[in-house]
Amino acid sequence: MRRLSLLAVLLLVPSAHAATGPTNGCPAPCSGQISSPAGTQFLYVQPAGVGGAVDAYDPAGRRIFSLPPGITSADGGSHVSGAARLRTTVVSRYLVSDGRRMTSMVVSGRWRIAGVSPTGGFAALARQSRDRRRTDVIVVSTMSKRIVHRLRLRGDFEVDTVSLDGKRLFLIQHLAATGTPRYSVRLFDLSRDRLVSKPLRGKGEPSVMAGLAWSGVGSPDGRWLLTLYLNTGRNLAFVHALDLVRSSPLCIFLPSGGAFDTLKRYGLTLSPDGRRLYATNAALGAVAEIDLATRKVVRTARFAATRSLGGPGSLTGTISRNGRTLYFSPGRDLWAYDTAYGVVRGPYRTGGAIAGFGFAAGDRRVHALRADGRMLTFDAATGATMG
């Protein structure tokens, strides 16, 4: 199973996160934190999902500008697109805050944007042979506008992310298997121009893992790539936590149970300080808190599960700047999680499927853009609908 079209969200207002949906070997950032420029307040929506165009809306529901299909950096500052022509690809870097194009370069051949470094300084472009036995990758510097690395790999590889300094490329190697997809995490040392011989693995974990990547989030500081995997054979959900500094992966199992359609409703949201990861699932009625220092689930909150769902998967939540309140949604209606007391409240009705939501300036309100274009406003403290 390869990347599919999905409903994804990039939210901005001073603090927010983006996107969920089905992917396989989820590239970074599947979602990223974005900050609105001073004096403005935007909600960013990516209707076609990761890799699609990004639309910026004001609180009244007016679309202010759009960014072409591409990937947004984890720090939320840059958006990198690749427009394939007949025999060339135009790689452009945009400023997310106002949509301005900062740099542009032309590379020979038809490529797709496969990964972006946490600040957008480097981008990986990839293409494969039809039989997927060969994968070609080039790494470009979006600042100097030149190709800095060329790779030709034997096998079916997918770019996971590029390190902050542009010296390491993290890859997912897809392995031939029947049933549940199997993969290995690989590291290409760009400074030495070589693929590290052994797959990356956590202590006590196998080098070959089973699961389907469904959504993910990259930390703005470039430390973490956190991907939600679903083991369709055993109906298990887990977070694949890849430490990009230490080149160390580890699987963190989440509360599971129920069918695949229930597990795919998990959404991932990082705390503002990057120390906690929240895995929320309204269809399962669970919120799991992960301490990234220990890479363990340290608290689980339970609440009444819902059948009121929308879209192919959950939207990634938005969290207040002080990290106290997290709003999340399975694609319809909203829930709020008090991170201090571990209490969930809601649902707060939206009256339809929603395309994006997020805190407004000052964290006193939450805006939600419905799929039909109507913008709703909620009191962040009580969940009450505001005019």
Instruction: Indicate if the pLDDT at residue 15 is higher than 80.
Output: no
Does the pLDDT at position 34 exceed 50? no
Which amino acid would we find at residue 31?
A: S
CA 52-36-370 angle, 5° bins: 55
pLDDT of res. 6: 27
Neighbours of 29 (CB within 10 A): 31
Q: What is the pLDDT of residues 347-360, one digit of tens each?
A: 999 999 988 888 88
Q: What is the pLDDT at residue 299? A: 98
Residue 288, strand partner residues: 279, 300
CA distances from 28 to 76, 172, 375 (A): 12, 12, 29
Q: Which residues of 99-115 are buried (b: 16+ CB within 10 A; e: fewer)?
A: eeeebebebeeebbbbb
Structure tokens at 142: 């979006």
- pLDDT of 25 strictly over 80: no
Instruction: Give yes or no for a contact between 236 and 229, defined as CB atoms under 8 angstroms apart.
Output: no
Q: How far apart are CA 329 and CA 344, in angstroms?
A: 12
Question: pLDDT tier at 40 (50, 70, 90 boundaries)?
Answer: low
pLDDT at 121: 96
CB 198 within 8 A of CB 185: no
- Return d(Cα 286, Cα 99) in angstroms, integer: 37
54-58, 231-235, 325-329: least confident range: 231-235
Q: What is the pTM of this model?
A: 0.86
| Bigger pLDDT: 41 vs 224 | 224
**Cβ distance 226 to 240 under 8 Å?**
yes
For the segment 128-152, what is each residue's pLDDT rounded down to a tens digit?
999 999 999 999 999 999 999 999 9
The CA distance from 116 to 32, in Å, is: 11
- pLDDT score, position 321: 87
Cross-strand pairs, 346 = none
Tens of pLDDT, residues 320-342: 888 999 999 998 999 999 999 99
| Alpha helical stretches, state H, the chain | 260-263
Q: What is the pLDDT of residues 105-114, one digit of tens each?
A: 999 999 999 9
Work out the pLDDT band at 176, boundaries 50, 70, 90: confident
64: region left, alpha or beta (phi > 0 left; psi from -120 to 50 alpha): alpha
Q: Please report, rounded to a whole number, the percentage of residues in the chain having pLDDT higher than 90.
A: 55
Q: Which sign, positive or negative, has the C-alpha torsion 307, 336, 370, 64?
A: negative
Strand residue runs (E) in 68-155:
70-72, 78-84, 88-95, 101-108, 112-116, 122-128, 134-141, 146-154
* pLDDT tens per residue, range 243-287: 999 888 899 999 998 788 899 899 999 998 889 999 999 999 999
Work out the pLDDT band at 1, boundaries 50, 70, 90: very low
Instruction: Tell me how far CA of residue 209 lies from CA of 174, 206, 218, 277, in angstroms.
Output: 10, 7, 21, 22
Q: What's the confidence (pLDDT) of residue 35?
A: 36
pLDDT over threshold 90, residue 100: yes
* Domains of the chain and CATH, by start: 8-386 (2.130.10)
Rounded to 5 degrees, φ, ψ at 261 are -60, -25
Q: What is the mean pLDDT of the chain?
A: 84
Which contacts (CB < 8 Å, 24+ apart) does range 295-304 have?
A: 295/241, 295/250, 295/252, 296/252, 297/252, 297/253, 297/254, 299/342, 300/255, 301/337, 301/342, 301/343, 301/344, 303/335, 303/344
Cα dihedral sign for 151, 155, 159, 160?
negative
Residue whose entry in the numeric block shows the structure tokens 């809306």: 57
pLDDT for residue 31: 33
